[in-house]
Each structure stands twice: as C-alpha cells, then as structure tokens.
Amino acid sequence: LDVAVLNAGVYKIKYAESRYGWEETLQVNVLSTAFIGLLLLQQMKASKRGNSLPVLEIVSSGNHEDATISAERRGVGNLLQSYNASNHYNAKEQYRASKLFAMYIMKTLASLAKSSDVNSGKPDVLVTSVCPGACKSDLSREYNSFAANIAKTAISALFLRTTEQGSRTLVSGVTLGEQLRRRV
C-alpha cells in the first residue's frame, strides 16, 4: 500500500449521534479518521519496500486555524466529550474543532510513522495533511432551504473551486513526497 487519502468529511447543521454514540461530525471527521489512519499506518509500514516512501494523507481544512477552544471546554476533563454534548452544539464551531482535531491526528500519526532506524532521519511513512480550499461539493447539503440554496448557488458560482481543481491539491500532496516533507 503506497498511498492512502483520508477524505471523509461532514458538516452537520444539527446535532445527530452516530450509532456509536458520538456526534456525527466527531465520528466522521475525527474518530473514524484516527481509527482508519492507525490501521492504514500499520499496513503501510508493514508493506513498505526498499526506498519507497508511502504517503498517508488527511484531507483537512483551513478552518482549523479559526477553531477556538473556550475556557469552559478546556476546563472539562475530556475535551472530545465536551464536543459530543448536544447542549453546546454549534455547527460552525463543531466543524472547525473537528478539523483542528484532525491536525492533532496527523501530528500523532506522523510521530508513530518514524522509522525504527533512528539513524535514517526519515519516517517509514510520510503522514501529511492538505487543504483543497472551498470547493463545490455536497459538504453543505444539509443547508437546503430556499434561501440557503440561492446563497449556495451564488457563492458557488463566485468563489468556490470545482472539485476537480480541489483534487489537484490532494494529488500534489501525495506526489511531492520528500519535497512536501521539507515544507512541514
């Protein structure tokens, strides 16, 4: 396994729990990404051949930079559990926090990807994240009122990239390899 791109993501406008008891944004954008990332990382390390550098890429969002963790949430013993509570749900805050958590996942997976050969200075797997920017996709599909559809159409036509244009970022993140590693 040379390349894996973890691209699942949701933006839920209302609180909804997954069948596992987690709010769906957390389940998809954070927990499932972490779990599949851990499983794939093990597989990629085990199947690595020669000088190849497998790439595990997490599709993130620049929205992680706008995430703020309130003092109230920081005061709770389990930060993830605080975002799982229905009484504090805010769609924009939840999405931004989920993308911030995805960056922590990327950093953790990258530390686990380090080579067992301490002298190599290279990881066994390159773990990275990319942000394709705002693209015309179904991410906002739950915003489906008449007014929201008019706004989405206008914003999409004026400001959003096509998904094909956004996908170029994903491909670049995978193909740059060592060049990308030097940028991080």
Separation of alpha carbons 44 and 49, rounded Å: 10
Catalytic residue among 15, 99, 114, 152: 99
Contact 103, 129 (CB under 8 A): yes
| 95 is an active site residue | yes
Contact 67, 100 (CB under 8 A): yes
End-to-end CA distance of the chain: 23
| 99 is an active site residue | yes
Catalytic residue among 95, 104, 114, 152: 95
Please classify residue 73 by burial: count the beta carbons closer than 10 Å to its beta carbon, then call 0-12 exposed, 13-18 middle and 19+ buried: middle
Separation of alpha carbons 23 and 87, rounded Å: 12
Runs of H (alpha helix) within the chain: 24-26, 33-47, 71-74, 79-84, 91-112, 146-159, 163-175, 178-183
State the catalytic residues.
95, 99
